Amino acid sequence: MNHELLKAAAESNQWLAIFPELLLGSLALLLLALEIILPKKQHTTIPAVAIIGQIGVLLYQLLHFNSVFVGHDTFAGLLHHSANGQFMRAFFLLASILVCVLGTIALAKQKMPRIEFFHIVIVVSAAMMLLAQSNNFILLFVALETVTVGFYILVSYFRTSPLSLEAGLKYLIMGALSSGLLLFGIVLLYGVAGNSTLPGSSADAMNFNALHTFLAANSHNFLAAVGIVLVLSGVAFKIGAVPFQIWIPDVYQGAPTPVTAFLAVASKAAGFSLLLILTQSVFTPYEYLTTPVLGLMAAATILFGNLAALTQHNVKRLIGLSGVSHAGYLLIGVVAAASQPLAIGAIGFYLFAYLLASFAVFGVMTHVAGADDADQELEHYADLAKTHPFLGAVLAIGLGSLAGIPPLAGFMGKLLIFIAAFKAGLHGLLLVAIVGVVISIYYYFGWIKAAFFETWRAPLLEGETDPRPVRTPVGVAAGVTLATVALATVVLGFYQGAFGDWLLSLKF
Amino acid sequence: MNTLPVDLLLLSIATPLAVALVIALGVPVRAAKGLAAAAFAVPALIALFLWSRFSSETLHHTYAFYKVYETGLQGVGIKLALGLNGISLPLFVLAGIVGLAAGLYAIQSNAERLKTYLVLLLVMQGGLMGVFASVDIFFFYFFHELALIPTFIMVGIWGGRDRSYAAMKMTIYLTLGAMLSLIGLIAIYYKSRAGSFDLISLREELLANGLKAGVQKNIFGLLMFGFGILVSLWPFHTWAPLGYGAAPSSAAMLHAGVLKKFGLYGLIQIALPLLPLGAADWARPLAILAVVGNILVVGFITIAQRDLKQMVGYSSVMHMGYAFLGIAAMSAAGVGGVVLMMVAHGFSVALLFLLSTSVYHRTQTFDMTEMGGLAQKAPVLAAFFVAATMASIGLPGFANFWGEVTIFVAAWKFSPVLTALAVSGVIISAVYGLRSAARVFFGEQTEALAKVVAEKPVTDLTCCEKLPALILIAALFFIGFWPKSISTPLNSALEVIYPAPTVQLAADAAK
């Protein structure tokens, strides 16, 4: 490489463009340093530092939302900053803060090292933020692996629980397989795009722009098609789309509840932002291939997720499988986005509503769960509305929003996706989606039923203990967080204001 | 245009919702009762006030009190547009008054966890006012769902027999219906290319460039079955008697009396005028389902009921058959009859549910074969019940009469055979209505009842029970003797929404 090129590359290193990520990295290191410096008694303040620090980063991100980098590439084309990317960065930060709040509740019930948990969560979040802005397969892969490796540890974090360890192993094997598929796809694309006998070939085919030029010039190349399908399969693992959903129920059940929430919301959202980047810019010449593949996946995912969730009694498995069906609705949005830019805003709104609703539900779950985190049955929710009306109300709002019931935000997300799908002419997928929504009513309302409706229980025999674990009293921080999340779900259902306006004008 | 200083329509929606929030945040029970009573009274008074003002308003495309708010989704053409036209005004009044009656009845009921019960009822009431005040078809749907969800929880917590099963079945059926109609509404929005969910712009756009017959047929089919499930069109009616039988009385009053009219209202205000060719295609199947299924089959099932509340539930399914027949007639007269009947039926069925619960409190059973002779002990209750039954059968002097007669006249042009069959349904209603009154209130006291009475002597209606019943029966009489109060604004709207050429075109297509 000659001198000029290196210089140009160095000048494009705009560190300010990734300042939030840098801040997060420093915060993560600071947590570890604090653990060494502070006396043991004051270790309880470290989670607060983690949460407050991240709130600061989130504020920074929001204040610099329309930064000068939007619309430009930095770091020699490794990163591309877009409005959608800015939104996703804020999204991951918010998710990470909420995970940390849930973490403080769940970790209090275990004898586990605390600080590493927050450290890893923050590092993973920073990686996700980079992922949402990637413009190069190398950066994409490195960021994705950082996320995945972080999750290997987080999933098996409760190492005294066999189920948590099993989940970690399962996630490791499945994650390795999916990374392998992804890598194989990338290599195929790189290889075929580097073939100098083909028009539009490029020496730097890892770069999305160069790859796009090549794909546009060779829109029916068989090897490239195989590569694209493999890359999509790798991403489909992350979002849990059929047929790559097999790991979901076990991993969701075994993982600590805050990690399950992290997987369900942030990891899934990362997958979707990646999918949007790929289908909206790089793979556009292969729409004839990606559209049917993703469409078929969407239909199968919706049906499988909903049908499989019907029979679940463990709420973690239930929410995992219901999350599979949400991935299906979102996939409809991705398919629709090929012709309707409206769908991008719809996906953003859906993800945001899904975040709020999921954290409302997971927040209640951490309070209801006992010392055995994997053992969370529907029966444990009996009488919740009577003994803990606040938790009951938050649960009902969260589940209602997930089920897509007006006037909650989840309904608006579904509505926007449906409108986009209608405009894109996806009538078959819409039909499947309706069937899915109707099926989902059964298990979401079954859960509400368990918490609200009184049922007769046999009185406890002598020596028998109540199978329901003792519910954690709601602390101030957790109470405020849950109330905010639930209130935001209701308000966003009624009034979207400038947020809705901005999202709908979003183009890629 | 809205000439009032305050947007009363928005106020009528917001008051119950705001009070619900206040009660949920925690106030003492006594204060909650007072607040709730006020919050139920406000929409009712607003409705009556707007009713009296309507004739002097200048109309904006048939709508009075029209006002638009942006909520952030104007990008896809969704805005909160409020207003009342001749079709929605009577239903808005119905919602206000039945809401007040149901609210007052709930306040005096002393149910367990009364505050939660009132919160849910208030949310439902806010939704109901919103359904009929919305000009935007998206918000029309939105408010319906808002009102629907509390019913699920109310049935589940305060319901009677089989409440868990009933709540689940009701919710799944109604979600299916709602989803189908939502897709139908999105289809209208998209196919019209008006780029807006506002009913006024949709109507203008579709009047200028009507949709192709095939498209209209598909969309109308979606809406007919979607709305039909919500209105308990046979054979999708099974949720209704089960759900009403299990629901606590105030929830049943609001649902059967008002919320269920959502589907019919949607067909009249949206589907029929916007998709006349599609309606013409479906008119005959709809009429046959309505007459043979809802009126005759369900009518006979109603006769066989022993459970008082189930009987009222089935009878309301049966009466929906007349409404569907009036819609299938596809004429301004038929639609006018349906609106009149919806209002009348709303009052009478709410009254019947209220009275059945009052009967239950005195007999401790809904089984009519275990009652009898209540009239001696509770003459006022008996008088109310007989009056409500007569209204429901359609005796002249009650509002129901005018609705049914208009429907029959309009339907005769459409199909004499089906009309004749439908008229014979009136005999069926008379059989079960009078039989139930006789079984409950007249004749000898049964042994089972004697035992109950020995433990707890039967009293007549208390003041608190009388008040809501009086409100409902007064409304029935008022409209019965002076139907013009509804039909004048109604006609003004129907003339615009159902212009003669459209109706003629559709009627020709039906033949």
Domain count, chain A: 1
Measuring CA to CA, how many Å separate B271 from each of B133, B202, B221, B275, B283? 17, 11, 10, 6, 12
**Taking a contact as any Cβ pair under 8 Å apart, which residues of chain A between 410 and 429 contact chain B?**
411-412, 415-416, 418-419, 422-423
Residue at A296 is within a domain: yes
Nearest-CB residue to B175 (from A396, A438, A496): A438
Residue at B30 is within a domain: yes
Residue at A239 is within a domain: yes
Mean pLDDT by 10 residues, chain A (508 residues): 68 82 93 89 86 93 84 85 90 94 87 86 94 91 93 90 90 92 93 88 86 89 92 91 89 92 93 91 90 93 92 90 93 91 90 94 90 82 84 91 87 90 89 90 88 75 74 84 91 82 75
pLDDT band for position B500 (cuts 50, 70, 90):
low
Residue position matching structure tokens 């008002």: B258
- Candidates A350, A395, A405: best to mutate against B (most CBs of B within 10 A) is A405
Residue at A460 is within a domain: no
Kindly tell me the burial class for residue A63, based on how many C-beta atoms sit within 10 Å of its own C-beta (0-12, 13-18, 19 or more). exposed
Q: Assess contact for B310 and B366: CB atoms under 8 A.
A: yes
Helix, strand, coil shares of chain B as percentages rounded to 5?
A: 80, 5, 20
Residue at A6 is within a domain: no
Query: Cα separation of A382 and A375, whole Å?
Result: 15
In sequence order, which residues have a C-beta less than 8 Å from that of residue B123 and are 6 or more positions away? B16, B17, B20, B146, B147, B149, B150
Q: What is the rounded end-to-end Cα distance, in angstroms, of chain A? A: 32
* pLDDT score, position A508: 61
Mean pLDDT of chain B: 85
Q: Is the pLDDT of residue B44 over 70?
A: yes
Nearest-CB residue to A453 (from B142, B164, B176): B164
Q: Residue B80 belongs to what H/E stretch?
A: strand B80-84
Q: Is A332 on the interface with B (CB under 8 A)?
A: no
Residue at B198 is within a domain: yes
Residue at A467 is within a domain: no
Kindly tell me the burial class for residue A203, based on how many C-beta atoms sit within 10 Å of its own C-beta (0-12, 13-18, 19 or more). exposed
pLDDT band for position B501 (cuts 50, 70, 90):
low
Residue at A426 is within a domain: yes
* pLDDT score, position A2: 64
DSSP A372: S
Query: Cα separation of A255 and A258, whole Å?
Result: 8
Each residue's pLDDT tens digit, B156-176: 888 777 888 888 888 888 888
- With an 8 Å Cβ cutoff, are A504 and B75 in contact? yes
* pLDDT score, position A507: 67
Helix, strand, coil shares of chain A as percentages rounded to 5?
A: 75, 0, 25
Query: Cα separation of A499 and A501, whole Å?
Result: 5
Q: Which residues in chain B have Cβ-Cβ distances shorter than 8 Å to A430? A: 183
Residue at B1 is within a domain: no
Kindly tell me the burial class for residue B251, based on how many C-beta atoms sit within 10 Å of its own C-beta (0-12, 13-18, 19 or more). buried
Each residue's pLDDT tens digit, B422-444: 888 888 888 888 888 888 888 77
Residue at A361 is within a domain: yes
Mean pLDDT over B324-350 rounds to 88
Residue at A253 is within a domain: yes
Range(s) of the domain holding residue B247: 8-510
Range(s) of the domain holding residue A171: 17-455+473-504
In sequence order, which residues have a C-beta less than 8 Å from that of residue B447 and are 6 or more positions away? none
* pLDDT score, position B2: 57
Domain count, chain B: 1
ipTM above 0.90, yes or no: no
CA distance B127 to chain A (A): 10
- Beta strands A73-74 and B64-69, pairing class: unpaired
Q: Which residues in chain A have Cβ-Cβ distances shorter than 8 Å to B190? A: 419, 422-423
Q: Is the pLDDT of residue B508 over 70?
A: no
Each residue's pLDDT tens digit, B211-229: 888 888 888 898 999 999 9
Kindly tell me the burial class for residue B27, based on how many C-beta atoms sit within 10 Å of its own C-beta (0-12, 13-18, 19 or more). middle
Query: Cα separation of A1 and B415, whole Å?
Result: 87
- With an 8 Å Cβ cutoff, are B142 and A407 in contact? yes
Mean pLDDT over B265-291 rounds to 86
Question: Taking CB atoms and an 8 Å cut-off, how many pairs form between chains A and B?
Answer: 92
Q: Assess contact for A422 and B190: CB atoms under 8 A.
A: yes
